[in-house]
């Protein structure tokens, strides 16, 4: 299977790239030309196709979603109610987008449509991830109007979590339990659920969807960020008064640490909000968060799981945070008006894709049925440490498409 692309610049071997890790970041930040792709596109595409064919064979025709791939050849399967359930279908849609091979449409549809019950599910706030990554990408690529009612209903369900007194969407917990809950939690990840609402506001001419998204984004700016533009993971509000009870970083090293994946969500989330609203404060927020993120990257660019882990450099990397940030940086590079910043964001994004496409991060061993290794899920609970997680695959695929100019936001979901 060949993809005919014109890649600017020469193609360097993966080994030569990995030998330059100490100076790699400096090279990306100081050069005045666009960074070049350093991997062979056809080889990477063949690898992706091979891995996900294995994954599909393992998953079969059921309704349990692949979440992790392990060295023993097994895959951890989770129910559709798991917050990661939409990433698997989304990755399949991206493989179709990358290859143009229509044989990927059927499995992408299968793993999308199994999520139909989520449209009315009130047990989790992440239904934006779950449905927009699956149904949203399916609609973007096929313009299948049968997907629209699911997207609209999911938006309605998500909006039930909005507390107008606080001005944010509730994170965690089943809505049926909120009567007994004293506090209203909002996590930084929730910025990523807003894309569904922004799409639905325009598509279904329901401005209250975007009104809620804007209020959530604005109040997240007010409440979640430290003066240095690092972010807390969780803000806990008094449900009745709206006052902040406490701030913490639930999945980071400690409450005052800079958790890498949370920082990546902010880059992507506020770049998306600027794209949808053209409100300059969102562009500024994304840019400041990106600058903070970039300033803490190691020489080979893949972030440590938490930038304040005292064990650095002898601690874990988080490939998923690198992939998420790369997606946001590609978008941000097109949005900022400063040409120097634009080039910087672009080069870091391409550098991240190059590094993730190397032998150090690709799941090249035959027993894996996935793409990307070395992510960290929940360090505090010691779960999913230094392993494959399906959202790393998803955001790697998105970043890869953007690096190859195959993912066109201008025509998305029109």
Which residues have a Cβ under 8 Å from the Cβ of 309 and sit 6 or more positions away? 253, 257, 315
Question: In this structure, how many other beta carbons lie within 10 angstroms of the beta carbon of residue 205?
Answer: 8
Which is the catalytic residue, given 42, 63, 101, 126?
126
Helix (H, G, I), strand (E, B) or coil at 367: coil
Does the annotation count 189 as an active-site position? Answer: yes
Q: Minimal CA–CA distance to 54: which of 400, 393, 396, 406?
A: 393
> How far apart are alpha carbons 273 and 270 in whole angstroms?
5
> How far apart are alpha carbons 219 and 235 in whole angstroms?
11
Q: Minimal CA–CA distance to 377: which of 297, 262, 247?
A: 262
Which is the catalytic residue, given 26, 116, 189, 211?
189
Q: Minimal CA–CA distance to 329: which of 247, 390, 259, 272?
A: 272
Q: HSE (CB half, 13 Å, CA atoms) of 113?
A: 10
Which residues have a Cβ under 8 Å from the Cβ of 89 and sit 6 or more positions away? 108, 111, 112, 115, 133, 134, 137, 138
Q: What is the number of H-type helices and E-type strands within the chain?
A: 15, 9
Annotated catalytic residues are 126, 189
């Amino acid at each position: 299977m060949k993809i005919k692309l014109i890649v600017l610049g020469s193609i360097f071997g993966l080994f030569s790239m990995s030998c330059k890790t100490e100076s790699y970041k400096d090279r990306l930040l100081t050069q005045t030309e666009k960074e070049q792709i350093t991997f062979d596109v056809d080889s990477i595409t063949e690898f992706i196709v091979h891995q996900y064919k294995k994954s599909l064979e393992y998953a079969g025709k059921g309704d349990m979603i692949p979440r992790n791939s392990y060295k023993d050849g097994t895959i951890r399967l989770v129910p559709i109610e798991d917050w990661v359930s939409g990433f698997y279908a989304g990755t399949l849609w991206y493989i179709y987008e990358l290859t143009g091979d229509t044989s990927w449409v059927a499995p992408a549809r299968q793993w999308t449509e199994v999520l139909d019950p989520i449209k009315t599910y009130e047990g989790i706030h992440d239904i934006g991830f779950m449905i927009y990554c699956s149904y949203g990408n399916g609609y973007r690529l096929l313009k299948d109007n049968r997907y629209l009612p699911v997207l609209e209903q999911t938006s309605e369900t998500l909006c039930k979590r909005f507390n107008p007194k606080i001005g944010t969407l509730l994170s965690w917990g089943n809505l049926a339990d909120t009567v007994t809950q004293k506090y209203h939690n909002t996590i930084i990840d929730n910025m990523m659920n807003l894309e569904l609402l922004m799409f639905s506001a325009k598509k279904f001419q329901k401005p209250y969807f975007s009104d809620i998204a804007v209020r959530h984004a604005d109040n997240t700016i007010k409440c979640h960020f430290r003066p240095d533009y690092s972010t807390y993971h969780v803000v806990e509000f008094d449900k009745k008064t709206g006052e902040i009870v406490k701030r913490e970083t639930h999945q980071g090293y400690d409450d005052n640490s800079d958790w890498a994946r949370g920082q990546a969500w902010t880059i992507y989330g506020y770049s998306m909000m600027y794209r949808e609203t053209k409100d300059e404060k969102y562009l500024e927020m994304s840019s400041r968060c990106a600058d903070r993120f970039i300033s803490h990257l190691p020489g080979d660019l893949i972030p440590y799981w938490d930038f304040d882990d005292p064990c650095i450099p002898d601690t874990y990397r988080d490939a998923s945070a690198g992939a998420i940030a790369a997606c946001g940086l590609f978008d941000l590079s097109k949005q900022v008006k400063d040409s120097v910043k634009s080039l910087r964001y672009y080069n870091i994004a391409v550098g991240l894709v190059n590094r993730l496409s190397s032998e150090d991060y690709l799941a090249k061993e035959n027993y894996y049925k996935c793409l990307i290794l070395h992510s960290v899920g929940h360090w505090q609970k010691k779960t999913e440490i230094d392993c494959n997680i399906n959202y790393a695959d998803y955001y790697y695929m998105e970043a890869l498409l953007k690096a190859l100019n195959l993912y066109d936001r201008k025509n998305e979901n029109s």
